[in-house]
Amino acid sequence: MAATQEEILKGLAEIVNETTGIPIEEVTLDKSFTYDLDIDESTMAEVVAAAVDRFDVEIPEESVKTLQTVGDLAGYILKNQT
């Protein structure tokens, strides 16, 4: 069953928390991975890999570069989940 945007956001917040220690409540759709959450390229790769596993979605490397905010990633997962 496909996840809702709220479920995806909750899952992404948990992934970011586990990966970086950033509190779950600070991970919102409008937050930039780079500027607001201070997530670097290697940590972003970990977040994306965990999201791929959790939501059973493929995210090609060229698409990762376009995902600037939590909302971008959540929207991508929402549109591309199987």
Question: What is the pLDDT, as a whole number, of residue 82?
Answer: 74
**Angle of helix 41-55 relative to helix 5-20, nearest 10 degrees?**
140
Given 3-state DSSP classes, what are the helix, strand and coil percentages for the chain, each rounded to the nearest 5? 60, 0, 40
Domain residue extents for the chain: 5-80
CATH no., domain 5-80: 1.10.1200.10
Q: How far is the first Cα of the chain from the last one, in angstroms, to the nearest whole number?
A: 8
Q: What are phi and psi of 32, to 5 degrees?
A: -80, 135
Prediction pTM value: 0.94
Q: If you ran DSSP here, which 8-state letter would residue 1 be given?
A: -
Could you read off the pLDDT of 35-69 as tens digits, one per residue?
A: 999 999 999 999 999 999 999 999 999 999 999 99
